[in-house]
Amino acid sequence: MKQILPFSHTLYARLYSFLLSVLLAYCLFNAIYSVIIGGKSAYLFSGLVLIFQTILVFKASLNKKIYNVLGLIGLILCLVYLHHWAFLFQHESIAILPSVILALLSLGYFSLQHLRLNLLMVALLFGLFILAYTQYHDLNTLQNYYNSLHTGETWQQYGAL
């Protein structure tokens, strides 16, 4: 069977891992900045859990199923602790979507069928895009709130530092 595009599979894999790394780094740095200026700390915890899960999914490990499911459970428990049982109606609950996809990828069942594996990998990127957009929106809301409280102090222009 002739290939449609002349690119190799390794190029696609490297491009995918680069895009995944950039999205995770953006989410983590955005969450760190948001926490520094007084935002929600759930994004920081979810970013760390997602990075931990991503490393375990794409690394050959014996216990990656257990660790990824524990990461998902830890993320859900953190959101339950912060918002009680109304956590599904909060913006931070969007972090559950990539975590669930990473837990499903670690099971190994989806690696047998390439169509399902590719759909999960695209859904993971889409979930991270939604998480990054939600974090960006919350950060803009926080910055607009600080701009409305402007009292002439210079630290308010650049955050809480």
Domain range list for the chain: 23-140
The two three-digit tokens of residue 23, written as one number? 């999205």
Radius of gyration of the chain (CA): 18
Query: Are the C-beta atoms of 58 and 68 separated by less than 8 Å?
Result: no
Cα→Cα distances 160→39, 44, 85, 150, Å: 11, 17, 31, 13
pLDDT reading at 49 higher than 70: yes
**pLDDT for position 87:** 61
**pLDDT for position 132:** 92
| Residue 42 per-residue DSSP state | H
pLDDT reading at 146 higher than 70: yes
**pLDDT for position 143:** 82
Per-residue DSSP letters for 86-131? GGGGSGGGGGHHHHHHHHHHHTSSTTSSHHHHHHHHHHHHHHHHHH
Cα→Cα distances 2→11, 15, 142, Å: 17, 22, 52
**pLDDT for position 133:** 93
Cα→Cα distances 37→56, 72, 147, 152, Å: 31, 27, 12, 17
**pLDDT for position 125:** 92
pLDDT reading at 69 higher than 60: yes
| pLDDT tens-place string over residues 5-42 | 566 778 888 888 899 999 999 999 999 998 888 877 88
Residue 85 and residue 115: Cα distance in Å, rounded? 35
| pLDDT tens-place string over residues 85-140 | 666 666 677 777 788 788 777 777 776 788 888 888 889 899 999 999 998 998 88
The two three-digit tokens of residue 42, written as one number? 């759930």
